[in-house]
C-alpha cells in the first residue's frame, strides 16, 4: 500500500503540557481519512506539524515517503494543500483576487487554472464580490480553493464544517467527494462530528489524549459495527417468542419496542407475529453503531 502520510510516534510538548503523546497514523493514497477525536485530542497539533508550521518534540513523519528531516520535504510539501483552523482569506478581495494572490505567493508563472478552481468549488459566479460579504460556507470553499492552488494531490482540512449551516455542510461534503473521486486528491479531514465524517471517510484514525486509539478502514468499521433494526409492535413478549423461533438476537426495550441484531425477512416476521395476535407497527434500520463504536473506544 502506498501512503501519502505516515506519522510515527509523534510527541509534541508545549512547555510541560504534552499535546501529542506518541501519535501514529498512516494515510493511504486515494483515501478520505477522517481524523476523529474530541476537543483537545491533538488533531490541530498534528495538522500544524505535518504542514510544517511546528516541529514535533519527538518522533517523525513522512510525506510521500520523504522523511520530515530530509531536505526534500519542502518539495513534498508543495504537493499538499491545507486549510488549518480558519481559512486564510483576504476579506477585502474577491475570490479570484484571493486566488491570484496565492498564485503569486507560490510563484506560479501565470494565472492559468484560476477559473477552473473557482468553478470546482462553486464560486465562479461571485465576480467582484468581496470575501467579507461571503457566507461562512462560501469562505470555507474559498479557503479550499486557495489550498488547491498549485494543484496539490493531498488536501488537509481542519474541521472543515465547523459552524456551517446544513446547506453549507452538504456543499463542503460534495466538494470533498468530487475532489477525491474526480481529481484523485487524497484528503485528511479532522472532525469531532462523527456522523458527518461517516458520509465521506474511507479510513478513520481515532485519537484521544494525543495518541492513536485505533486506525480502521470504513469497510472494517462497517464489519465491526453491528447493524440493528428498531422494531415497534403491539406486544413485545409475542415478538420475543417469534424472534426466539427465528434464532435472532434481540434486545427488548419496552412493551412495544425492541432492537433486533439480525437481518430478518419482514414478511415472515409479520406473518409469524399475526399468528401470535401481534401487529408490526414499524421497522427501521438504525445506525447508532458508529457512535457506540467510538464511545467504546474513547469512553464517555
Ligand atoms: P479542537 O477540536 O478543540 O481544536 P484538537 O484535537 O485540534 O481540538 P489541539 O488544538 O491539537 O486539539 O490541542 C491539543 C491540546 O494541546 C489542547 O489541550 C490544547 O489546549 C493544547 N495546545 C494546543 N496548542 C497549544 C499551545 N500553543 N500552547 C499550549 N498548549 C497548546
What is the percent of the chain where pLDDT is above 70? 98
Ligand 1 centroid – CA 44 distance (Å): 7
Distance CA 191, CA 85 (A): 11
Query: Would you say residue 15 has pLDDT above 80?
Result: yes
Ligand 1 centroid – CA 86 distance (Å): 15
Sequence-distant contacts of 127-132: CB under 8 A, at least 24 apart: 127/94, 128/94, 129/94, 129/95, 130/91, 130/92, 130/93, 130/94, 131/89, 131/90, 131/91, 131/92, 131/93, 131/94, 131/95, 131/98, 132/91, 132/92
pLDDT of residue 296: 76
Nearest of 285, 284, 270, 287 to residue 234 by alpha carbon: 270
Nearest of 182, 110, 186, 176 to residue 145 by alpha carbon: 176
Rounded to two decimals, what is the model's pTM?
Answer: 0.81
What is the percent of the chain where pLDDT is above 90? 73
Identify the architecture of domain 3-223 in CATH.
3-Layer(aba) Sandwich (3.40)
pLDDT of residue 1: 87
Ligand 1 centroid – CA 46 distance (Å): 10
pLDDT of residue 32: 97
Give domain limits for the chain: 3-223, 227-287
Q: What is the pLDDT of residues 234-270, one digit of tens each?
A: 999 999 999 999 999 899 999 999 999 888 899 999 9
Identify the CATH assignment for 227-287 out of 3.90.1570.10, 3.30.70.100, 3.40.50.620, 3.40.190.10. 3.30.70.100
Ligand 1 centroid – CA 170 distance (Å): 27
Q: Is 191 in the pocket of ligand 1 (CB under 6 A)?
A: no
2: which DSSP letter?
A: -
Q: 210, 18 in Cβ contact below 8 A? A: yes
Residue of minimum CA distance from atom 30 in ligand 1:
14
Q: Is 23 in the pocket of ligand 1 (CB under 6 A)?
A: no
Q: Give backbone dihedrals phi and psi of 116, rounded to 5 degrees, phi first.
A: -65, -40
Q: What is the pLDDT of residues 177-227, one digit of tens each?
A: 999 999 999 999 998 888 888 889 999 999 999 999 999 999 888 777 767
Grid cell locating 197: 465524517
The DSSP-derived string for 236-290 is HHHHHHHHHHTT--EEE-SSSEEEE-S---HHHHHHHHHHTT--EEEEEEE--HH
pLDDT of residue 287: 64
Q: Where are the beta strands (DSSP E) in 48-120?
A: 58-63, 66-67, 80-83
Atom of ligand 1 nearest to the CA of 45: 11
Atom of ligand 1 nearest to the CA of 12: 16
Stretch 166-187: mean pLDDT: 93
Q: Which residue has the cell 489524549?
A: 209
Stretch 133-154: mean pLDDT: 93
Amino acid at each position: 500500500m502506498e501512503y501519502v502520510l505516515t506519522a510515527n510516534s509523534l510527541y509534541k510538548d508545549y512547555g510541560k503540557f504534552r499535546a501529542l503523546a506518541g501519535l501514529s497514523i498512516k494515510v493511504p493514497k486515494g483515501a478520505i481519512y477522517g481524523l476523529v477525536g474530541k476537543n483537545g485530542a491533538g488533531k490541530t497539533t498534528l495538522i500544524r506539524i505535518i504542514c510544517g508550521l511546528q516541529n514535533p518534540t519527538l518522533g517523525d513523519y513522512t510525506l510521500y515517503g520523504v522523511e520530515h528531516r530530509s531536505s526534500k520535504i519542502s518539495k513534498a510539501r508543495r504537493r499538499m494543500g491545507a486549510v488549518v483552523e480558519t481559512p486564510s482569506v483576504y476579506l477585502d478581495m474577491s475570490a479570484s483576487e484571493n486566488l491570484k494572490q496565492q498564485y503569486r505567493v507560490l510563484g506560479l508563472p501565470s494565472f492559468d487554472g484560476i477559473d477552473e478552481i473557482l468553478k470546482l468549488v462553486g464560486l465562479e459566479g461571485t465576480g467582484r464580490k468581496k470575501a467579507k460579504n461571503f457566507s461562512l460556507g462560501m469562505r470555507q470553499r474559498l479557503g479550499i480553493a486557495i489550498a488547491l492552488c498549485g494543484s496539490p494531490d493531498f488536501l488537509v482540512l481542519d474541521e472543515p464544517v465547523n459552524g456551517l449551516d446544513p446547506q453549507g455542510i452538504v456543499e463542503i461534503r460534495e466538494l470533498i467527494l468530487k475532489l477525491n473521486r474526480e481529481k484523485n486528491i487524497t484528503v485528511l479531514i479532522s472532525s469531532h462530528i462523527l456522523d458527518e465524517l461517516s458520509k465521506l471517510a474511507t479510513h478513520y484514525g481515532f485519537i484521544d489524549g494525543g495518541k492513536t486509539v485505533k486506525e480502521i478502514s470504513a469497510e472494517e468499521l462497517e464489519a465491526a459495527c453491528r447493524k440493528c433494526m428498531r422494531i415497534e409492535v403491539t406486544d413485545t413478549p409475542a415478538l420475543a417468542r417469534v424472534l426466539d423461533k427465528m434464532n435472532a438476537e434481540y434486545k427488548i426495550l419496552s412493551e412495544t419496542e425492541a432492537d433486533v441484531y439480525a437481518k430478518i425477512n419482514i414478511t415472515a416476521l409479520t406473518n409469524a407475529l399475526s399468528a401470535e395476535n401481534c401487529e408490526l407497527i414499524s421497522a427501521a434500520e438504525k445506525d447508532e453503531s458508529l457512535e457506540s463504536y467510538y464511545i467504546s473506544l474513547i469512553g464517555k
